[in-house]
Structure 1
């Protein structure tokens, strides 16, 4: 097998993108071509926070495997990301020999992945429910990828899950969540939905709180508010602001719940006028919502449940399904409205020790 390092704007860069186009049907491509091109050229807003080397492997002049070797400049953790490959153990083994050697040159003691550059750019590998269509924001990969990674020594070390909720009957009452919500209202907490016009200001408040709450998450990487605004700029178009809930106490933001209409793969496609119209239509009448971000200041215990009550109440009246996305296993949020959960999907982070 011939393995090449990818240079910007080269044939190898094109082949890096081409492999995913070959492996996935259009309705399963959960990657932004623009974002990957920015990473390959070093022009992404977060490119200054890590070193990035991409590689492609060829057999008979056809690209069969790709990945990027990424090193966080702050933590010095070394990641394997943007991985795609055909189902071939010998191809995986030969490719990883080269990757491991390159990682050792960087001084890496271990490889962690999949991480597509950063905590902020997508990480984790899907481990189950491969027959279920992917939802917006979900890590999606082919079903044989976990076996490929295990075949070269990667071991699972962090686990996550997404919980699928059925459409709630109109008489459904989340009594425990409702009780918690009323307690906070009576204690002087203010729950509100931001407007699009104020989102630029509100998003910085969310970023500041999120940075505190997520600081102890695996692989968390500090970024600036400017970088946050740039990488989440598209949320102005895709958020349904009437579903976003913010909690304030004594004038300070202390909690947030940010759901997203499920656009499937639509938001990863080129933003043509037709696709923009499709997004707007889906946003107006979404059949399913993804609960992507839920956070509450640790000094306000139980606030997460109160925020969730607002979400589940809105979902009920909209007669939509919902997904509690990518929750670290063991977190209390896994148990919210457990009686309405019908299934879950598992994900993981892997680690390979480099001897």
Structure 2
């Protein structure tokens, strides 16, 4: 039976059929449904599907983010990838997306990436012990990408602290003195002016991550709109901001509870950002030590440092706090 490929836009009458395709390949209790799928409509070129008669077998989106480049070359990304375990359909789909990316002038195709690192990206090595907000895909997706000529270009990991240490941390009085000497105030995020804090976080995050792998800028209004949606899931007491005497943001910890595993009181540290000025070196360690002490006092049983670049400083912070790897994630690239 012949397979055919179809290309649609978000305005297409078929968009909902393509959007709902994953419902037919994941079980109802899958972690997949805990987080809505994100499409980066600003950078979206088209959505592709491979069909057998009228049945979708695979689906993906092609993105062209003008600020995204790999090895200093123009780069597109393939994201929102979902497929039956049908290698031929997967090959047809990825080949078509690759061909169209090349026509757009791209020298590389990155994936999986829904437009940028601000959205969902990376495949997990294992899906055996998922946690809240972890990317969740079917295990054979990596094989689809490798068979289509992709190679891993960046590795990430998540680490679990099973017993929250306090004995190895700096004494609490020393932490307080260090905080005073740095002249910083560490406080929870302000939920009564959440948008106001997000606007100031926009500047800090762009300063902290400007030189990160595949970083692309995001406008302030887009940033605020995107992260306003986290209001209901973040842990206010543990999402912490360090600011100087003038109220300038210097460091940030974004934390939430593991809503996927309610049987255990577990905290997830999702994002750590610090101002790049060398004089603030150690501020992340200070905030981490204060957070660990509070978590122990509040009865948390474990902490996950989530989705860290294996080459990034946040991974070394996790190691200091005794985190052990529990999963790895891979981002792939294909030369066109």
Same fold (TM over 0.5): yes
For residue 292 of structure 1, the aligned residue among 270, 282, 293 is 270
Tell whether the 8 Å contact from 2:78 to 2:110 is kept in structure 1 after alignment.
yes
**2:79 counterpart (73, 78, 81):** 81
Uncovered stretches (5+) of structure 2, i.e. residues with no partner: 69-73
CA deviations over 1:122-169 (Å, ceiling 9, x no partner): 111112x32113x22211111111111111110000111111121437
Shift in Å, 1:47:
3.2
Q: Is the 8 A contact 1:55 1:66 kept in 2?
A: yes
Cα distance in 2 for partners of 1:97, 1:343 equals: 34
How far did 1:211 drift?
0.9
Instruction: Report if the CA contact (8 A) 2:251-2:273 is conserved.
Output: yes
State the match for 1:108 in structure 2: 106
SS in 1 for 2:127: coil
Report how many aligned residue pairs link the two structures: 323
- TM-aligned CA deviation for residue 109 of structure 1: 1.3
Which shifted more, 65-74 or 229-238?
229-238
Q: What's the offset of the Cα at 1:263?
A: 2.5
- 1:149 corresponds, among 145, 148, 161, to 145
d(CA) in 1 for partners of 2:223 and 2:217? 10
Structure 1 residue 163 corresponds to structure 2 residue 159: yes
Q: Cα RMSD between the aligned structures?
A: 2.5
**TM-score by structure 1 length?**
0.83
Q: Is the 8 A contact 2:158 2:304 kept in 1?
A: yes
Residues 181 and 305, structure 1, Cα contact 8 Å, conserved in 2: no
CA contact (8 A) 1:21 1:29 kept: no
Is the 8 Å Cα contact of residues 262 and 288 (structure 1) preserved in structure 2? yes
Task: Say whether residues 1:194 and 2:189 are aligned partners.
Answer: yes
- Decide whether the 8 Å contact of 2:31 with 2:260 is kept in 1: no
Q: Answer whether contact 2:157 2:325 (CA < 8 A) is retained.
A: no
Compared CA separation, residues 31 and 69, structure 1 to 2 (3 A): farther
Distance 1:144 1:201 in 2: 43
Determine the C-alpha separation between the residues in 1 that align with 2:314 and 2:106.
Answer: 34
- Where does structure 1 lack aligned partners over 5 or more consecutive residues? 40-45, 266-281
CA contact (8 A) 2:48 2:93 kept: no
Structure 1 pair 215/32, CA: closer, same or farther in 2 (3 Å)?
farther
Structure with the largest fraction of helix: 1
**Regions of 4+ moved over 4 Å:** 31-36, 176-182
* Pick aligned residue for 1:229 from 219, 224, 228: 224
Contact 1:156 1:349 in 2 (8 A): yes
TM-score of the superposed pair, with normalisation by structure 2: 0.87
- Could you tell me which of 38, 46, 49 is aligned with 1:56? 49
Contact 2:202–2:220 (Cα < 8 Å) also in 1: yes
After superposition, the Cα gap between the structure-2 partners of 1:177 and 1:340, relative to the gap in structure 1 and judged at 3 Å, is farther
**Distance in 1, Cα, partners of 2:283 & 2:169:** 15
1:316 is aligned to 296
2: distance between equivalents of 1:229 and 1:120?
Answer: 12
Distance 1:302 1:206, change over 3 A: same
Q: 1:32 to 1:260 in 2, by over 3 A?
A: closer
Partner of 2:287: 307
- Residue in 1 that maps onto 2:250: 254
Closer/same/farther in 2, CA of residues 249 and 222 from structure 1, 3 Å limit: same
